[in-house]
Amino acid sequence: MKFKAFFTDKGVTTLEKKFVPAFEKIGKTCYVYLTRTHVTLMHNAVNADGVQAIAQFKEALLFDDYRISSQNEDRIAFTLDLNLLLRALKSSVSMDGDKLQIKLGRSAS
């Protein structure tokens, strides 16, 4: 499975200012579900207990040059530490760089 994309300015702002802080107040991690056309963030979607939060975005809102491939009809799911994502987004804003790239790497374990 492969995933690589560049965040749009609007995507960075949307996640950094609105969605990631809200999700982080609910819990430390969330599930990310990527398809060819959408990016979905889900918190506590598997458990029936407690607060659930789901945010779905068209890939074009968050990313430029969005590339995804997998043996499961180009669908990828993984867990994400929200604090690390928020730190990366804030760091990219403070650095005032041209582009912020995100890609999925293999886990060490």
**41-88 pLDDT tens trace:** 999 877 767 888 999 999 999 999 999 999 999 999 999 999 999 999
Strands 2-7 and 29-34: unpaired
Which helix (H) or strand (E) is 87 found in, with range? helix 82-95
Residue 44, token pair as written in the block: 């506590």
For residue 54, the one-letter residue type is I
Residue 13 has pLDDT above 90, yes or no: yes
Band (pLDDT 50/70/90 cuts) for residue 4 is: very high
Asked if residue 59 lies in contact with residue 38, where contact means CB atoms within 8 angstroms, the answer is: yes
What domains sit in the chain, N to C, each tagged with a CATH number?
A: 2-103 (3.70.10.10)
Residue 57, token pair as written in the block: 């975005």
The closest of 77, 79, 4 to 35, measured between CA atoms, is 77
Helix (H, G, I), strand (E, B) or coil at 68: strand
Asked if residue 58 lies in contact with residue 46, where contact means CB atoms within 8 angstroms, the answer is: no
User: What is the percent of the chain where pLDDT is above 90?
Assistant: 69
Q: What is the structure's pLDDT at 95?
A: 76
